[in-house]
Structure formats: C-alpha cells, structure tokens
Amino acid sequence: MPTAVPSHHRKSMAKLHRAAEPDVLKPLLERARLTPDSRERVMDHALALLADLRAAQNRGWVNQFLQEYRLNSSEGVALLSLAEAFLRVPDPETADLLIADKIGDADWKAHSGKSNSVLVNSATWGLMLGRALVGDEKTGVLRRLISRAGEPFVRQAVGAAMKRMGEVFVMGRTIDEAMKRMKKPENKGFTASFDMLGEAARTKADAERYFQAYFEAIRAVGRDPKAGHSISVKLSALHPRYEVAQYDRCVPELTDMLAQLASESAAQGIPLTVDAEESERLEMSLDIIGSVARRPELRGWNGFGMAVQAYGKRARAVIGWADDLGRPMHVRLVKGAYWDSEIKRTQVEGLADYPLFTRKAATDVSYLACARDMLAAKNIVPAFASHNALTVATILDWAGDSRDFEFQRLHGMGEGLYERLVNEQGYHCRIYAPVGGHRDLLAYLVRRLLENGANSSFVHQLADEQLSEAELLADPVEKIAAVGGTRHPSIPLPVDLFGAWKNSGGIDLAERTILAETAAAIAASPPPARGRGPGGGPTLTTSEPAVEAGGPPPAPSRTREGVASAIDRASAAFPGWAATPLATRAAILERLADLLEENRIELMALAVKEAFKTIPDALGEVREAADFCRYYALQARTGLAPITLPGPTGERNELRMEGRGVWATIAPWNFPLAIFLGQTAAALVAGNAVVAKPAPQTPEIARAAVRLAHQAGVPEDALVLVTGGPEVGAALTSDHRIAGVAFTGSTPTAKKIAAALLEGNDRPLVPLIAETGGINAMIVDSTALPEQVVADVLTSAFRSAGQRCSALRLLLLQEEIAEGVIEMLRGAMELLILGDPADPRTDIGPVIDQAAYDKLIAYRDSAKAQWIKTVPVPATGLFVPPTMIRIDRPEDLTREWFGPILHVATWKAGTLAETVARVNAKGFGLTMGLHSRIARSAELVEAEARVGNLYINRSMIGAVVGSQPFGGEGLSGTGPKAGGPHYLHRFCAERAVSVDTTSAGGNATLLSLDEGGI
C-alpha cells in the first residue's frame, strides 16, 4: 500500500531519527522556554498543584506504596518481581518457591509501621509474616506457632495481595465492570479511555481475541455515549507480525482492522485512540493511522486519535504530520513507554545514534515543545497525559482561558493532581483505564511501575520527602541548557559501547526505506562463482573466479600437493610475520575490520547467496567478523605484550607470548565469514602464519575475506587459502609442520582431527582449539512469561534454519504449563515465512546442501508419529519444514540434528536439579537456556549446568564478541572461548627469559643506591 506519510514529513522524521541530541534539542529548548513573567505564574500554580498531590498521598495507596518500597531497593524489586509472575503460576509448589525467593531474604521489618497508610502497613506485616514462614529461619515462636498453616497460608495471602494490586491498576476485569467502577464517587467528573489489556499478539488467535475484545468494548461504551468514555487500541495486539519486514502483509491487514474498529466507534459516537508503539514501528503506525484517517466513510466523525511519545526525537515532527492530515485528530501526548528497551535495542543493533532522548529532562523539554505546538495547531484536539505538576501548570498557563483540550492520567496514579481542576475549574481529565484479567495485567503493571517509579520520574521524586519543592519543580529547560543538551554520560553511543574497542556498525533494518535499499543492493550483487540458487539449486556460474591484478595467488588445488605447497609458503612467511611488531599486527586487524564494514553489502550478498543467510543474519555475520578483528587487536595489545616478572636483585625475568608457527584454521559453512575470520585473525595477531580452509559449501565468502585481509596488510604468504572437502582438511591436519589447529564443526570431525594430531612418534604435541555442536536444552518453569518464552524459542530453534551450533534442540517445559506453551508455539510457527533468503520477508531459508536436507528429512519422517507441529514449505528447494517433535523424556534425544527441528519434553515441579543433571548426562556442553522468575532457580542452574554458555530469560543464540565469549566443553569443544579474554593465549608459545645482570661484574641496580660503600 502507498505510504500515508508525505515526503516532506518523512524527510524531516528521517533527519531527526538519528540526529545528535544537542541538534534536536536546540529548537525544542526555544519552544519550551518560559518567559520570566510566565515562569512566576507557572511556579505559583505548580506549588498549589504540588500541595494537592501531597495531600492526596495520604489517601493514595500507590503513592504510599512507591514511597515505602522504592524500585531501587531490594524490597521494591522483590515486590515488583512477585507481582509480575505470581498470578500466572498454576502449581502450588512453584508458587511457594517464588514466594520464598522474593520475600524470604528481604528486610520487611525495616518497613514495619513506617507508612501513613493502614493498607501499606498491613501489607508489610503480612510480608514479615511470610518471611518468617518461608525464610531461612527454622526456629522462633512465630515459626512454630503458625507452622501448621505453612506455605498454603502464605500463598493465599500473597495471592490476595497481588489481586488487590491488580485492582489498583486495572479498572475492571471486564468492560462492564470497568464502566461501573467509573461511576464511583472517586471518579466524579472524570471520563475514561479504556484499554483492553494485551501488550502484543503472538498468534492469529491472540490477535483475533484482542480484536473481538476491542470491538465488544466499543459497543459496550457506545451504550452510554453521554458518559464520554473512549477506547484505546494497541496495533501490536491486533497482528502477530507487526514488523517492518512484514510491512506488505501486516500494514494492509491492520489498516482494515483499525478501519473496522473506527467505523464502529463512529457509529457508536465515541472516540478511539491508537496507542503508541516502539520507535521502530512509528512510520508503519503513521501509514496505518493516516490511511484510516482519510477513509471517506469516517468523514464527519471527529473522534479519531493517536498517541505521541515525547521521548522520541521525531515527536514534534509527528505532531506536525497529525495537524496536516486535514481532519480533526485527537492527539494524546505521553512521555514514553519503552525507553529502556529502545536504548538496549539501539546498542545491540550498533546503530548510529538513539531515536530518543537519553536524559529525562530532555524528554520533559520535548514534551513542553510538543504541547505548545499542539495548543497552536489547527486540526489537533490536544490531550496531555502527565503526572508532573510543573508540566500541568505550564500547559495551563499557555492555554490561557481555553478549555479545548484535556488532561489524562493513569488509573491508580496521579490522584490529587486533577481533582480540583476538573470539579472546580471546569477542565477535562480522562483516566487511562486498563481492562482485563489479573493475569493480563502483569506486563502492563511492570511497565507502568518502572516508568513512574524510576528515580528520575516525578511520581518517584514526589515520594522522596528529602527533595525540596524547588528541586521537584526545577525547570527542565534550564537543566538541559546547563549541560548543553548533551547525551547522558552514562549512555554512550552504540559505537562506544565497549569503551576500549569500537563496536561494529549496524544497519537499521527496522527502517523500511533502508531495508528496501539494502535488499535491492544485495539482489543486484553478482552471484558467487560457485553459488546456488535461493532454494539450493546451482546458479549458472560455476567456474573459478579470475585472479585480480595484484591480488593473492590462486588457491591451491584440492590435492595433498596443493596443501603442501600452501604450507611451504606459510612456513617461509612465518619468521617475517612473527617479527612484525605486535602493534603493527593489531593495527592490520583494525584496518581489516574497517574494510569489512566498507564492503559490507558485497559480503552480505555473498552470505545470502552462498550460505543462504537471511538479510539480518548476513548483517550479523559481517558485524561479528569486524568485532572479532577489533576485539582481538585490543586483546593482543593488552595481553600479548612481554611481561616483566619479579625476581631477586641483579636478575631480569620476562615472559613473552610469541607465535607457534603455521596454524590451520578450519571453518564451518554456517558462519563462513565470522568464524572463518575470527579463528584466522586470532592466529595472525598472535604472530602465526595461517593456512585457512573454509567449508566446501562456502569458498567464495572465504576468498573475499582473504582478499580484504591482504588488502589490510597481511602478507599474502602469511595467510594462504586452501579450498576443498574432507580430503583437503585431512591433508592439512596430518602435515607435521602444522603447529596448531583451530576447528569449528562437528564432534566426529573434531575427534578425527585430534587423532590425526597424535599420529607419528616424531610429531610435536600441538594445540587443538575445537568448537563443536550440542544437544542444547532450554528449561522453562511455570513462572516464565509464555509470550516471552515463545518468542525466544522461535528465535533459538528456527532462526538460520536451526543451523547454528548454539541452536535450541530440546525444549523442557514444566508439565503444568506445557500444553499452553505448546499451543502458543503452534500458532506462532504457523506465521513463519520460508523462502528466498534475499527477500526481506523471509524468516527461514533453505538448509545448506542436499546431504543436510536428506539427513534431516529422513529423521523427520522417521518421527512422524511424534510431530506436534510442522509448517508448509516452498514446492522447490532445500527447505526443511520447521518441526516440533514430542519425546517422552530428555534421554530419547541422543544426537544433534542440525536443522529446524525442535524436540519437546516435560519435567515435574521440584525436579529442576535432576532435570539439569539429565541434560548434563548427555555429555554435550555448549549452550543451555532457562526461563524462570525465581532467582534461586537461576543460581541452581548456574551452579549445576555443565555448559559453556548459559542464557537466562532470553534467547540462546547470538553471542556477542567480548560480552558473551562462546564455546563449549565435553563433547562440545575444548575451549578457550572465542571472543573472550583467554582465547589468544592458546595460539601462542609462552617463552620465559631470565638474565643474570650481575654476571658482567657487579649489580648496577644496587650500586646506584645511596647506601653502603666504603
């Protein structure tokens, strides 16, 4: 569908999106600035509002709760964690473990009787009682007195408390209950915007359920149109694939669904507002909202609206866009809901700058500037969502006598701020009121408490009695002007994330234009000389590429003689390369990293067309290769320099790390650039010459990498490429001149290499660094959030067609939640798209070759009776259908199946340690995952799991160089871990030199001292 964002607005937004923070803030500061006269009026009004807020704290349960249990305290974190997980736990045993974990160690006694709230003090007493029951203290009068009640008593009390918490933040479990509650005296004069709880749909069934809930809510509110209530809609709840890569599919579907909801709202005569989403979805949201706003059937209805998040750098431009739609638009201005996750995503993706402000005061400035624009706009009906007294007072001053706007606050927060304005002064305030079951509350609750309980938030600061009124009402314009609008010093740009070494740059594939340009450039790149088509079939080009003028010599032929010739060249080059200063070798690696990024599209195209990687995976491949180069350059400078050791006077002792000779690096096809270059760069920077052998399926990526390495400054004979299959690898590892082998691949091949390195009595003992596969398990208990589990399982098991050594092979679900999680996984798997990896829409491409395809299909067919779910694939090509297979017990999976096949078994509550032991018993030790909200369970798995990489409450793939050093143990590898601080030493010979400096007659050091003598 065509974009609904005109080109001039799109250009403005694109310019602001990654602009430097000071540049974005400069015009905002002028727009938000108060004159001296207005400042005085605003302060007077804000002080009055502040007095109302403080008075309301005595009756506001949430305000007093936040005051007593700060989110930066262990007790506050414990309560938040308990609230997030408790109500979804179905079994009593795990519920008891969760309670013990969250309240057993906290110091509740310190909070006893301190609050002005009877409710908070009662809750504190209950928590003290709970700690006595579930804590480590096994004796004491209280414990003995109520030991018969035990955990069921605590469980019921905690359950009641969590439901009470739910009532505070959720207006009602149903829309009818919520509308009835809005008629209570405490809500007199207020209207509501009802939001049907649902953060995001994972399946079509989820989306259909949310759509129906919205539709029914619109009709329910429409039965009483005079009440003035409205409905808020979240687009991500209406489509399980609301992603930029799926634009052509999700945007038309969402536009149609939103149009249906808008039409029903128009028919009922009630307003409808589209909630804000993460910044990566902004332009999609605008296209959907703009298309619906222009629907002819909605002309004459003035109730359509949208939310804008002021923490986004594009917020003011979005306000301008909304005003230009040519129809009245209700705009709800909010501070922002996803700040922490947006910061992390930008860092993880290595993007140029943040799409949002990094200081809270900068967001406040943006909010005020946007508010001023909204008050001046022709077609905007403003709604200002804020709990901040200064913000409210400023808006009131700017609005003058106008009442053509409304304020909004969250249900459960901000009591006292608006009551006088609404009931005495005639202003309008709407309560944002979530509706849904307590289980649906959890994600919403955590988000709201984190936002409003954060140290920098007004709600949090209001609860701090040590802050003065002047500090509470400090002008954000002055705050930002004082620091020159600079980014927060604790939030470095993504490129500087690691400090000592440069983070690799990414491409913002969440920007539709950039994604399309990237895909077009990849498609236009020539196919690899030995490439195959997108489904695995051969391309037309099969000949050897021509040797570039001045480039490296042709790769040796696939013969033992060719391998010997390559080793001859490397052996001759070794002394000169080893003598090259360490700083020079490190600098060459850094130049290579720069060249990788300069040639990013060419390398991504090779990864897509030769290794069948999707576009995001191809980008990750180039970034990881660059990260390896820069990280190992840093590690070489800091860890391989000579070390002076202690000793007696008159003696010099030094430890040197030097190259061992010629290393063989043997890389796999699943990471044909990152692992190929990672192993090779490590060996080179340590002072070794290298003969590098890529997998036979991906030689062209290796050729390109070697060409760039030579261009960066590696001597052509110090890095020699050989290509071919097992016979070439065998010739390489059996040659006695090889001083070490770095290998990534299968366990059987690693064992063959290890045996070959021991053949011959005259062969030196040489190191083998091997990283192999694993039967990688993820354990999920009943405290885990199913939506998060499903997202992480899909990523871990099926991304890259399951062709990662770290991929999830065995999902172990606690039996009480197994069927629910499996059902959600079924629905999510149905949405996976298999196809050409060069197509941005593709989730899963073909497997690497015919042999892999045949092996996986044969196994899959043999287990057909145990299939839980499989999905259709394209009619032609080497596409293995993602398949979920049920097994009775973990022991039934005896080997690694390197493809998109996931095995599922269950485990019983209370047997976590035994379950980990059963996984350990398989002998593999690469990756393991755990999804649990119980910290003690995480500690148990950390202590007991025999794996190189343990991932808790996240996906199991995508180890980051320098942050998550990667490698296994047992049948999964030898170590040391790639991308870690100990990796380079394995490539070195350690040589100690001891010199007696007195042998030439006298100890110069001692003689130079002002002591002794005649």
The answer to whether residues 705 and 606 touch, using CB atoms and an 8 Å cutoff, is no
Cα R_g (the chain), whole angstroms: 32
The answer to whether residues 332 and 383 touch, using CB atoms and an 8 Å cutoff, is yes
Closest CA to 822 of 24, 160, 202: 202
CA distance 6 to 640: 56
Which tokens is 494 given? Answer: 């993504």
Which tokens is 601 given? Answer: 């599209």
What is the Cβ-side half-sphere exposure of residue 971, based on CA atoms within 13 angstroms? 17
The answer to whether residues 679 and 709 touch, using CB atoms and an 8 Å cutoff, is no
The helix-helix angle for 615-639 and 582-598 (nearest 10°) equals: 170
- Alpha-carbon dihedral angle through residues 423, 424, 427, 428, given to the nearest 10 degrees: 0
Positive or negative torsion for Cα 940, 942, 943, 948: positive
Residues paired with 811 in a beta bridge:
778, 904
Phi-psi region of 724 (alpha: psi -120 to 50; beta: other; left: phi over 0): left
CA distance 232 to 71: 28
The answer to whether residues 438 and 162 touch, using CB atoms and an 8 Å cutoff, is yes
Question: Which of 167-188 are b and which e, b meaning 16 or more Cβ less than 10 Å from the residue's Cβ?
Answer: ebbbbbbbbeebbebbeeeeee
Environment class of residue 577 by beta-carbon count within 10 Å: exposed (0-12), middle (13-18) or buried (19+)?
buried
Residue with tokens 């740009």: 493
Active site residues: 771, 805
CA distance 640 to 685: 9
CA distance 534 to 839: 10
Phi-psi region of 189 (alpha: psi -120 to 50; beta: other; left: phi over 0): left
CA distance 54 to 46: 12
CB atoms within 10 A of CB 68: 21
Closest CA to 266 of 299, 220, 307: 299
Residue 376 CA to chain centroid, in angstroms? 39
The answer to whether residues 378 and 323 touch, using CB atoms and an 8 Å cutoff, is yes
Environment class of residue 228 by beta-carbon count within 10 Å: exposed (0-12), middle (13-18) or buried (19+)?
middle
CB atoms within 10 A of CB 919: 26
CA distance 215 to 194: 12
Classified as helix, coil or strand, 764 is coil
The answer to whether residues 626 and 678 touch, using CB atoms and an 8 Å cutoff, is no
Phi-psi region of 801 (alpha: psi -120 to 50; beta: other; left: phi over 0): left
Q: For residue 741, what is the enclosing H or E element?
A: strand 738-744
Which tokens is 740 given? Answer: 């070490």
Residue with tokens 């409710």: 119
Closest CA to 216 of 443, 412, 435: 435
The answer to whether residues 398 and 404 touch, using CB atoms and an 8 Å cutoff, is no
The answer to whether residues 477 and 27 touch, using CB atoms and an 8 Å cutoff, is no
Query: Would you give the end-to-end CA distance of the chain in angstroms?
Result: 98
The length of the chain in residues reads 1014
